[in-house]
Amino acid sequence: MSYISNLESLPDELLLEVCKYLLCVDVLLSFDNLNIRMTYMISDYRRHVSLHKASYAQSYKLFTKILPKIGTQIHTLIIDNCYSALQAISFPKYFQNRMSICFPELKKIILVSFRPDPLLIFLKILDNLENLHTIDMRSLFRVPIKQQTEVLLALLQANNHRLTSIFIDDQSSHLNPIKKHLANQITCPNIINLKIEILTIYDLSVLFTIIPNIRSLSVSIHRKDNCDNMSRIFKSEILQFLTHFQLKSIERSWYLSELRLLLEKLPSIKYLSLNLRTSDLTLTNGELLQKYLFYKIEQFHYAIHYLPDQQSINYIEILNTWKNIRPIICLNNSIQNDYMFLHTLPYSSFDYLEISSSVAQSILKNQNAYKNVQRLHVDCDFTLAEAFPILSYCQRIKHSMIWLHEVDVNNPNNYNSVQDHTQENKNDILPKMPRLRRLTLVGFPPKDLYHMSTILAAAPNLFRLDLNYNTLLLLLNNESICLLLQQRITALTINNMPSCPSNAKENITRIAMTFLHLRHLYIDMRSLDTTIDLMVLCYFDEFLKQNAPLISFCADGKPSNEMKDNAEKWLIYHRNYFEGKQFAAYFNEKGSRLLIWM
């Protein structure tokens, strides 16, 4: 007699393993309130709720039925405006006056891909949440300069000044505390931990005055400045309680004297991480740094991009100054001898590595240094294979960006080097990279585009691909690559669509027939000579023919007046299959972006 099993006959451990392959919203909608055992089994999903990749219909059910019921159990909440295109606008409509009632135990909120205006509206509904102490911002869209101080203060003062920790990742807009936009002597003594992106060293000095009780500070400075006297900028500001300080500034060139002055303002520092650019040789000298900077530091991580003004680099002398100080490695191109990346070991304080493929041989000598890197930017000349040695030793990366530069094919020497390089790397392989989720190709199409199949084969969990329109069309000519794209890719970003694309209808059909499982599509149509209306409708028609499960569609470009005035009405008028369906559509004039959420 055969035995027929059912779902409930499986142990909790096995069911939870199955749940790992599902989105949080799928688990909540599928298992919640089935019975006491299932409800208890998914208790972690009820405490830490992620709305990541939820469709419009799923979100509506969650907002109206599930979240009000389980809200008292929720400790962490993720609101995803990236893959669920209008979630940032939708969420406050359902909970604007009852956040503290629905989510009394909420401790942390993660906000993904918010624009400044929806963010300001969202922050206003965070009122009297007694346990909410942390906001984590990821991929905050560009904030206009005039609005940056307002957004920054709204974050620091949110939830009635109860927040203690604000984290803004390095893929977010900078938020500058512009002095003329600040009220006199305004401070936020509640903030203890802060991670932020700013523009200049001047902004850092103003920031010091706002957060007097800060204990952990991570800052990325994005722009050069004309500062020639640090003492005039940092006057009486001293952060007495700051013990953890991380500074990334690879656009301006730093000097040892400037770092000494800056650290004088931080008398309690115990943990220091620096990722800087310099042409000052003394900033590569371990003995001098130990004497002037690191003597009172318990733990430090140091990374320097050294670009000398004139003289060549003497790597041996530099490394000798570190012998008795800290383990350190030097990445360089011994032939060009005009750049060096020097950093302490392990490379663990920074999860982002930006590096040139020209130092690949140096990477091979230090294979175990980059195990903690999660985001990798490799600057290549003209082939994907140039990035392979570096990719091979960053096996835990989640996002890889490969930047490719044009090669002058009219130059016979360059042309031959392309041919030789391509031939040399035909057998290149990559180790498995199971954590790689997103691949971005920037610049010109690589000369060895067939190597995309090598990357796809090594990254079984890759689901997002960002690339230029012309590169995508070239990829579609390779059947084996198309098969892998069809199986893997559920999120696609198409950049730099030309002003008047030839065979547009035919190419859109090819794209739709390749990406059969696509759920999220973004297209940059800003270069189009006409409005984006017809192109948007053509993409919808072709993906509908393939029954693609699209839930979000975004397009940048010039709209018609009808689309700009009422995107939902425009969409229903031109395509009646939207009539009666659950969806939201909106054209953001500030960002020149059409957003459709289905």
Q: Sort residue 374 into left (φ over 0), alpha (ψ -120 to 50) or beta.
A: alpha
Average pLDDT estimate for 264-280: 93
Q: From CA 551, how far away is CA 553, in angstroms rounded? A: 7
**Whose structure tokens read 């295109």?**
85
Q: Is residue 586 included in any domain, yes or no?
A: yes
Q: Is the domain of 325 the same as that of 403? A: no
Q: Is residue 177 included in any domain, yes or no?
A: no
Q: Is residue 362 included in any domain, yes or no?
A: yes
pLDDT band at 545 (very low <50, low <70, confident <90, very high): very high
Q: In Å, how far are 42, 304, 349 from 274, measured between CA atoms?
A: 41, 8, 9
- Asked if the bond preceding 498 is cis, omega within 30° of 0, the reply is no
Instruction: Please name the amino acid found at residue 93.
Output: K
Q: Is the domain of 593 the same as that of 542? A: yes
What three-state secondary structure class fits 35?
coil
Dihedral angle sign, alpha carbons of residues 91, 94, 99, 105: negative
Q: Is residue 272 included in any domain, yes or no?
A: yes
Token pair belonging to 482: 């198309």
How many structural domains is the chain composed of? 3
DSSP secondary structure, 279-342, as one string:
--GGGG-HHHHIIIIITT-SEEEEEEEE--SSSPP-HHHHHHTTTTT--EEEEE-TTT-S-EEE
Instruction: Please name the amino acid found at residue 32.
Output: D
Q: Is the domain of 502 the same as that of 373? A: no
Q: Is residue 182 included in any domain, yes or no?
A: no
Average pLDDT estimate for 470-492: 95
Of 323, 349, 375, the position where a domain reaches its end is: 349
Of 349, 375, 390, the position where a domain reaches its end is: 349
* Residue-wise pLDDT tens digits, 335-391: 777 788 999 888 877 889 988 888 877 776 666 678 889 999 999 988 999 999 899
Q: Is the domain of 468 the same as that of 457? A: no
Which pLDDT score is estimated for 168?
Answer: 97
Q: Is the domain of 343 the same as that of 383? A: no
Q: Is the domain of 356 the same as that of 302? A: no
Which pLDDT score is estimated for 404?
Answer: 93
Following CA atoms 577, 581, 583, 586 in sequence, which dihedral angle do they give, to the nearest 10 degrees? 50
pLDDT band at 598 (very low <50, low <70, confident <90, very high): very high
Q: Is the domain of 369 the same as that of 330? A: no
Which pLDDT score is estimated for 515?
Answer: 98
* Residue-wise pLDDT tens digits, 434-450: 999 999 999 999 999 99
* Of 571, 576, 575, residue with least CA distance to 594: 571
Q: Which of 114-118, 267-271, 418-422 has the lowest mean pLDDT?
A: 418-422
Report if pTM > 0.85: yes
Q: Is the domain of 386 the same as that of 429? A: yes
Instruction: Please name the amino acid found at residue 15.
Output: L
Mapping DSSP onto H, E and C, the string for 471-538 reads HHHHHCCCHHHHHHHHHHCCEEEEECCCCCCCCHHHHHHHHHHHCCCCCEEEEECCCCCCCCHHHHHH
Q: Is the domain of 402 the same as that of 515? A: no
Q: Is the domain of 478 the same as that of 570? A: yes
Mapping DSSP onto H, E and C, the string for 67-88 reads HHHHHHHCCEEEEECCCCCCHH
Q: Is residue 123 included in any domain, yes or no?
A: no
Which pLDDT score is estimated for 219?
Answer: 97
Helix (H) / strand (E) element for 344: namely strand 340-344
pLDDT band at 418 (very low <50, low <70, confident <90, very high): very low
Which pLDDT score is estimated for 364?
Answer: 63
Instruction: State which residues form the domain around 429.
Output: 351-409+417-461
Average pLDDT estimate for 542-546: 95
Of 461, 476, 494, the position where a domain reaches its end is: 461
The better pLDDT of the pair 2, 172 is held by: 172
Q: Is residue 140 included in any domain, yes or no?
A: no
| pLDDT of 412 over the 60 cut | no
pLDDT band at 4 (very low <50, low <70, confident <90, very high): low
Q: In Å, how far are 191, 246, 374, 489 from 399, measured between CA atoms?
A: 30, 22, 7, 14
Q: Is the domain of 337 the same as that of 377? A: no
Token pair belonging to 590: 């500030």
Q: Is the domain of 287 the same as that of 310? A: yes
Q: Is residue 109 included in any domain, yes or no?
A: no
Q: State residue 442 phi and psi, 5-degree precision.
A: -120, 145
